[in-house]
Amino acid sequence: MPVGTRGAVKAVTQRDLRDLDAEIILANTYHLYLRPGDDLIARLGGLHAFIGWDRPILTDSGGYQVFSLAAMRRVSDEGAEFRSHLDGSLHLLTPEKATDIQAQLGSDIAMVLDECVASTAEIDGARVAMWRSVRWARRARDRRLQLRDGSLPGVVVTNTGQAQFGIVQGGVYPELRTESAQATIEIGFDAYAIGGLSVREPPEVMYGVVDHTARLLPEDRPRYLMGTGMPDDLLECVARGIDMFDCVLPTRNARNGQLLTSQGPMVIKNAQYAEDDTPPDPACDCYTCRNFSRAYLRHLYIAGEMTGATLNTIHNLYFYLDTLRRIREAIMFGTFERLRQEFHQTFSRRTQQ
Amino acid sequence: MPVGTRGAVKAVTQRDLRDLDAEIILANTYHLYLRPGDDLIARLGGLHAFIGWDRPILTDSGGYQVFSLAAMRRVSDEGAEFRSHLDGSLHLLTPEKATDIQAQLGSDIAMVLDECVASTAEIDGARVAMWRSVRWARRARDRRLQLRDGSLPGVVVTNTGQAQFGIVQGGVYPELRTESAQATIEIGFDAYAIGGLSVREPPEVMYGVVDHTARLLPEDRPRYLMGTGMPDDLLECVARGIDMFDCVLPTRNARNGQLLTSQGPMVIKNAQYAEDDTPPDPACDCYTCRNFSRAYLRHLYIAGEMTGATLNTIHNLYFYLDTLRRIREAIMFGTFERLRQEFHQTFSRRTQQ
């Protein structure tokens, strides 16, 4: 899922996303709640109408940004009190409130509010946050079922078919992940996500937790790994049972001049590309690679031209979406293991020289 | 002609320009000469190949930016000495050099170097600059003809079919315009432009000079009014014989949140549009107006999302290009005067409320 933080995937238009055949995008509840506000978006018919996007949208709960962006936060069993990073105003995000906001936004998939802890958290802290997340998930589910049976005062449900995903927490501790998965499945959600990973732990640690946790989740529901990751993470986590991903990496790195290619990351501003008239990734069929050279993209980056950010973003999103298309095809044809090996033979996380 | 200052029309891609059916774009010689350099572009096959654009390109001479952007300039009969606004390096732009650079860029239309004076210049100053421009035009033409007969040392001609336009100067003084037109036509160019207007003089003054000057130029060649202007200027100047325009206004104003509509300018950040779910211009068929609301564009502007700049730019360029398409059609059908009256009845330069 390309990330459309504030109702737009940075540097591209919805037409670009259609051309890339993005099947679903993610939007951030925290940002849209603060500006322009979920009330306004609901009055205008919900997020799909507001942003002009008729394919699925997933919204997060807002919790992650409260923990990473807000000017102040205080967490209690009730919820997370925080000050807006925009104007310092005071807000209280509860499991019910996060559910209400997403009901007003009318996304197709809503996430429950959970408590995020650092990947370096000790097991006791991770356990406390995990059980709080379970209690919050119960409240969020109750709220969602109430909304499904009819609007609550002050909440305009703009998408009656909205699904709600639970989130398994528990840091890097397998026993906590097991307890969290059992308790969350017991509540009963439309599908389940794995949260609290891709927060700077080494890849092997993440793969281990994914391997352990994914097999605890229902086989007949999509399994969503939140916030991952590098291109090779996609293959490794699909291999371990993951079906859905989101990450700002392809879009953010594009704006910073880093292209993700079949060989690995490429820093397009480097002087070595100044007169290089080959495409960024000769193996890629995206609009950017079919029409523009490394030399041109480097020029646009050095000159600070927005067009460069757009062309880099189109490439990076294509590379991610195409990698997942190839994974799906390989699974259908029974050749996933071969694809996985070939990918690793070509792709390196080291920047290309 | 949309303006692609540094080899990219800001905030859009070449695909957007194709979708808008832009038939020709403008690129700035000053910027491309300084970075990435015409030598590099020539080695990569010329500007068309470098920027991935196979339709016509017009390049200016670089003179206007020397007069408006350079850190220092000293003009003599030889040319304009200046310091780069990027790194302070010293350069000398002569009529020959401006011709050589454009030959290396390989644009389809090259402009001669001329001396720009303020629209408030006294007649004596305007006369001196005008005659200097005529002498420079002669030298630029000689150089171009030499290049046409075969490359000169150090100059790679990347487009053998390049046309060269002369520029009529003379400020707001009809007698100087007449002398300039006669002398420039006598040199003999592929076509002619009117320079030194749209530099803050009142519209009526500009229309007067255009009216006087355009009729002095050959009927069988395009007449190009440089750097104009507001949408109503297009109709008024076509009425006076102009065939070609360029202006940064549609693209620059788009990035500043000003939409040009059939009613007039619209400042999209205004609070009145916060919940306005109508298109920016209900009379417009562009991608932006067909898919997005004023409320969404306002949100994107307030949030500082690049996607907003892109959508605004697509609208403004469409509005300009569509206005000119309608003008061409009306001329063919003999209904230009009616279109002109209808346009003025609807369009106002005052910002819409």
Segment A27-74, tens digit of pLDDT: 999 999 999 999 999 999 999 999 999 999 999 999 999 988 888 899
Distance CA B306, CA B11 (A): 8
Q: ipTM score here? A: 0.97
Query: B278 has which bridge partners?
Result: none
Distance CA A252, CA A317 (A): 11
Is B50's CB within 8 Å of A9's CB? no
Q: Among residues of chain B, what percentage have pLDDT more than 90?
A: 94
Distances from the Cα of B236 to the Cα of A30, B23, B170, B206, B268, angstroms: 50, 21, 21, 10, 27
Is B306's CB within 8 Å of A49's CB? no
Q: Pick the catalytic residue: B38, B60, B114, B233?
A: B60
Residues of B in contact with A85 (CB under 8 A): none
- Cα of first residue to Cα of last residue in chain A, in angstroms, is 29
| A189 min Cα distance to partner chain B (Å) | 32
Q: Work out the angle between the directed axes of helices B95-105 and B123-148 (0-180°, nearest 10).
A: 50
Higher pLDDT, B41 or A151: B41
Highest mean pLDDT among A116-120, B50-54, B113-117: B50-54
B50-63 burial, b for 16+ CB within 10 Å, e for fewer?
Answer: bbbbeebbbbbbbb
Q: Work out the angle between the directed axes of helices B174-187 and B123-148 (0-180°, nearest 10).
A: 10
| B167 min Cα distance to partner chain A (Å) | 29
| B275 min Cα distance to partner chain A (Å) | 7
State the average pLDDT over residues B323-342.
Answer: 98
Quote the DSSP letter at residue B247.
-
Residues of A in contact with B3 (CB under 8 A): none
Residues with Cβ within 8 Å of residue A199, at least 6 apart in sequence: A116, A118, A119, A227
If you search the block for the tokens 């440089």, which residue do you land on?
Answer: B226
B71 has pLDDT over 90: no
Is B36's CB within 8 Å of A302's CB? yes
Q: Which of A10, A36, A52 sits opposite B292 (nearest CB)?
A: A52
If you search the block for the tokens 């009145």, which residue do you land on?
Answer: B272
Decide: helix, strand or coil at residue B99. Answer: helix
Please give the residue of chain B at the shortest CA–CA distance from A289: B52
Q: Which of A9, A274, A309 sits opposite B36 (nearest CB)?
A: A274
Distance CA A288, CA A16 (A): 12
pLDDT at residue A353, rounded to an integer: 67
Return the closest-CA partner of residue A204 out of A178, A230, A223, A179.
A230
Q: Which of B36, B275, B310 sits opposite A13 (nearest CB)?
A: B310
Could you report the per-residue pLDDT of B152-192, keeping only the tens digit for each?
Answer: 999 999 999 999 999 999 999 999 999 999 999 999 999 99
Q: How many residue pairs from chains A and B have C-beta atoms closer than 8 A?
A: 121
Distance CA B59, CA B164 (A): 10
| A338 min Cα distance to partner chain B (Å) | 36
pLDDT at residue B117, rounded to an integer: 84
| A18 min Cα distance to partner chain B (Å) | 13
Q: Pick the catalytic residue: A16, A38, A246, A281?
A: A246
Confirm if B115 and B132 have CB atoms less than 8 A apart.
Answer: yes
Q: Which of B36, B49, B275 sits opposite A40 (nearest CB)?
A: B275
Residues of A in contact with B11 (CB under 8 A): 306-307, 310
Give the B-side interface with A, CB within 8 Å: 6-15, 31, 35-36, 40, 43-45, 49-52, 274-275, 277, 287, 291-293, 295-296, 299-300, 302-303, 305-311, 314
Distances from the Cα of A298 to the Cα of A125, B12, B44, angstroms: 46, 17, 14
Return the closest-CA partner of residue A192 out of A241, A239, A232, A144.
A241
Distances from the Cα of A12 to the Cα of A8, A23, A318, B91, B100, angstroms: 8, 15, 12, 38, 37
Tell me the average pLDDT of chain B.
96
B353 has pLDDT over 70: no
Give the A-side interface with B, CB within 8 Å: 6-15, 31, 35-36, 40, 43-45, 49-52, 274-275, 277, 287, 291-293, 295-296, 299-300, 302-303, 305-311, 314
Instruction: Quickly list H helices, chain A.
Output: 14-19, 29-34, 38-43, 47-51, 63-68, 95-105, 123-148, 174-187, 203-214, 231-239, 249-255, 287-291, 294-303, 306-333, 336-346
A77-98 burial, b for 16+ CB within 10 Å, e for fewer?
Answer: eebbbbbbbeeeeebebbbbbb
Return the closest-CA partner of residue A281 out of A268, A263, A267.
A263
Q: Which of A10, A49, A305 sits opposite B305 (nearest CB)?
A: A10
Q: Residues in chain A with pLDDT < 50?
A: none
Q: Which of A9, A35, A308 sits opposite B303 (nearest CB)?
A: A35
Distance CA A72, CA A92 (A): 11
Confirm if A112 and A73 have CB atoms less than 8 A apart.
Answer: no
Distance CA B145, CA B335 (A): 41
Q: Is A246 a catalytic residue?
A: yes
- Interface with A, mutate which of B3, B5, B6, B13 (most A CBs under 10 A): B13
Q: Pick the catalytic residue: A60, A114, A233, A281?
A: A60
Distance CA A59, CA A349 (A): 29
Confirm if A73 and A80 have CB atoms less than 8 A apart.
Answer: yes
Please give the residue of chain A at the shortest CA–CA distance from B37: A299
Distance CA B143, CA B97 (A): 9
